[in-house]
Amino acid sequence: MDKNTKGINTICTHVGEVEDKQFKGAVSPLYMSSSYAFQDVDVKRYPRYFNTPNQEGLAIKIAALEQCESGLIFGSGMAAISTAVMAFLEAGDHIVLQGDIYGGTYNLVVEQFNKFGIDFSFSKGMKEADFEELIKPNTKVIYVETPSNPLLKITDLRMIAALAKKYNLISMIDNTFASPINQIPANFGINIIIHSATKYMGGHSDMCAGAVACSEEHIEKIFHLAKNLGGSLSDYTVWLLERSMKTMGIRVRAQNENAQRLADYLSNHEDIDAVYYPGLKSHVGHEIAKQQMSGFGGMMSFELKEDLDAGLFQKSLQLIKPSMSLAGVESTVLSPAETSHALLGAEERKNRGIADGLIRFSVGIEETEDLIRDIEQALIQIKKKQIVTSS
């Protein structure tokens, strides 16, 4: 199948299928073998070499979705991020990262890079000058995440690709929040595209996986380190992920629609102080998001009015579950200050604009009206409880 001539839902459904030559079944057979013949074969296959039939098939799907030559599937998003980043850095090198990034990526850098002699800088903002002022003669990689976790900040991908070209850097993006349904960074010149496939690719809150897509030349470099680090994904989960990805297009588009309606509703609500969603005209990154995203995604964050207890609000929701992860078909909420960004500490969170009462909202595929009803009943409940406790 020619990956360039298919629409996104067709790629989701079919590209990279493993053919069932024996029984002609409709779906990819699952090859669980961790031991393959080494004589009289074209490829010596082994799960940690990322080249079992199911691993290879799914990597083709990811590459096609991201409009890249090649892909690799990992055991987690962090395995994909750490392997991809470290593949292009050695002792004495420097990396520039967007300041507003996923807490786990931040922790990887600040907790591990010093011991490998790798220097790093985080941008203060998302503008060109914020990144360019940090570039040094030994800078090798520029790393961004857009929309970012948890404030949905938008970085201009054309600007990052141009900076990378100007200073001969490798550009990388964590494309998890957008998913390839809403944003194809390679079309703007970004070199390496990374995903926590635990999120929209998996889409059902029941697996942990990661993915990378890029050129064949770059994948060679990443693979070289990946087989040493050993962060491959088990074939059973690869197979489940392939199944999940068949519906990614329709799931994510339903989530986009739901999120836009909820963002409109929340931003007009008297009990809500702020809503961060790139699909809102009031969002600082809206104009750039419009240029580089085909949909604004299912993620948003919001702050309740200061006198309302955000913790109590999350406990009072009945349909929307408090949950560590995101991007499932079910709507979930989370407090970044208590989870993904807890290790940053109060001072650093404040510097980054992450209020303690900030609620990250992963919008699922339920009916919008049911989600609104749940939010309304939770607000009524917490107001009642707060009146009781304060009287």
Q: Which residues bind ligand PLP (CB under 6 A)?
A: 76-78, 102, 104, 145, 149, 174, 176-177, 196, 198, 208, 210
Indicate the residue among 210 and 279 with the shorter CB distance to ligand PLP: 210
Closest contact distance (angstroms) between CB of 379 and ligand PLP is 27
Calpha distance 256→279 (Å, rounded): 9
Indicate the residue among 177 and 239 with the shorter CB distance to ligand PLP: 177
Closest contact distance (angstroms) between CB of 153 and ligand PLP is 12
- Determine the 3-state secondary structure of 386 from DSSP: helix
Can you read off the two tokens belonging to residue 19?
């053919």
Indicate the residue among 28 and 82 with the shorter CB distance to ligand PLP: 82
Indicate the residue among 78 and 344 with the shorter CB distance to ligand PLP: 78
Calpha distance 134→90 (Å, rounded): 18
Indicate the residue among 177 and 223 with the shorter CB distance to ligand PLP: 177
List b or e across 171-207, with b for residues whose CB sees 16 or more CB atoms inside 10 angstroms: bbbbbbbbbbbbbbbbebebbbbbbbbbbbbbbebeb
Closest contact distance (angstroms) between CB of 134 and ligand PLP is 21
Can you read off the two tokens belonging to residue 112?
């591990």
The residue length of the chain stands at 391
Answer yes or no: are the C-beta atoms of 201 and 66 closer than 8 Å: no
Calpha distance 274→285 (Å, rounded): 15
Closest contact distance (angstroms) between CB of 206 and ligand PLP is 13
Closest contact distance (angstroms) between CB of 197 and ligand PLP is 7
Phi, psi of 270 (to 5 degrees): -70, -20
Closest contact distance (angstroms) between CB of 80 and ligand PLP is 8
Strand-strand pairing, 94-97 and 119-122: parallel
Cis peptide before 147 (omega within 30 of 0): yes
Calpha distance 182→365 (Å, rounded): 16
CB-based closest residue to ligand PLP: 77
Indicate the residue among 210 and 285 with the shorter CB distance to ligand PLP: 210
Closest contact distance (angstroms) between CB of 149 and ligand PLP is 4
Amino acid at 69: E
Calpha distance 280→144 (Å, rounded): 22
Closest contact distance (angstroms) between CB of 32 and ligand PLP is 22
Closest contact distance (angstroms) between CB of 175 and ligand PLP is 9
Handedness of CA 204, 11, 55, 233 (dihedral sign): negative
Helix (H) or strand (E) holding 157: helix 157-166
Neighbours of 115 (CB within 10 A): 8
